[in-house]
Amino acid sequence: MPQARFLGHACVTLTEGDHRLIIDPFLTGNDKATVRPEEIEVDHVLLTHGHGDHVGDAISIAKRCGATIIANYELALRCAKEGVNVHPMHIGGAHDFPFGRVKLTIAHHGGGFGEDASIYTGPPVGFLVTIGGKTVYHPGDTGLFLDMQLIGEMNQIELAFLPIGDNFTMGIDDAVKAVELLRPRRVVPMHYDTFDVIKADPNEFAAKVKDCQAIILNPGDNIDF
Ligand code: NI
Ligand code: MN
């Protein structure tokens, strides 16, 4: 049975048998994180976009573990310059990896690496990850978009992680609407409370969600799916 672990902000690990991957490993610099990057052991690192609170410790983790970074073409090539293995993909494309399948979806947000986010890292993406026969949707940072309805129609989403922190991404009410469009079986709120400007009450989100089980995970919590 695959397992997801929420590590704070937008960072999630997915494991199944010997397969271990991490999405958006922002640990150093996140006061809410309960795990240090040195403790992470993974084979793949998935990055939704080039912002620092998502790329985070990706390079150091990938180097130490010999892991492959999966990201959009531009961000992947930027990471390759740092001397790590990469697998570039792009929006609409899917690929079968040893752990399962990854498909890149659109996301409405920015992209940019470095101190002033001036290094071009292509458009932001979301991920549909199928592992252990179950599909997880991690949209990265995004606003609400109607194509979520299409993503929901074409995929049976077991578990969705959705940003609720507002300001940079969907807020609570838009995330509730996203659940209606995506129709996941379970949803976990993310991308809130890390910084003052994205403070949000996950209980309010959970109370507003309809026809879906909302699960609030604290950094470090696991869920079998
Ligand atoms: Ni961002
Ligand atoms: Mn972010």
Rounded to the nearest angstrom, the distance between the alpha carbon of 1 and the centre of ligand 1 is 31
CATH number of the domain at 3-216, out of 3.30.365.10, 3.40.50.720, 3.60.15.10, 3.40.50.300? 3.60.15.10
In degrees, to the nearest 5, what angle opens at C-alpha 59 toward C-alphas 76 and 56? 95
Tokens (6 digits) for 61: 């983790």
Q: How many CB atoms lie within 10 A of CB 146?
A: 8
Rounded to the nearest angstrom, the distance between the alpha carbon of 61 and the centre of ligand 2 is 19
Rounded to the nearest angstrom, the distance between the alpha carbon of 198 and the centre of ligand 2 is 10
pLDDT digits (tens), the chain, 225 positions: 999 999 999 999 999 999 999 999 999 999 999 999 999 999 999 999 999 999 999 999 999 999 999 999 999 999 999 999 999 999 999 999 999 999 999 999 999 998 899 999 999 999 999 999 999 999 999 999 999 999 999 999 999 999 999 999 999 999 999 999 999 999 999 999 999 999 999 999 999 999 999 999 999 999 999
**What is the phi/psi pair of residue 183, to 5°?**
50, 50
- Residue 28 gets which letter from DSSP? T
Each as own residue / partner, the long-range contacts of residues 58-61 (CB below 8 Å, 24 or more positions apart, any chain) are 58/25, 59/84, 61/22, 61/25, 61/37
Classify residue 3 as exposed, middle or buried by CB count within 10 Å of its CB (0-12, 13-18, 19+).
middle
- Residue 153 gets which letter from DSSP? H
Which residues make beta-bridge pairs with 119? 113
pTM: 0.98
Rounded to the nearest angstrom, the distance between the alpha carbon of 18 and the centre of ligand 1 is 30
- Using CA atoms, how far apart are residues 179 and 196, in angstroms rounded to an integer? 25
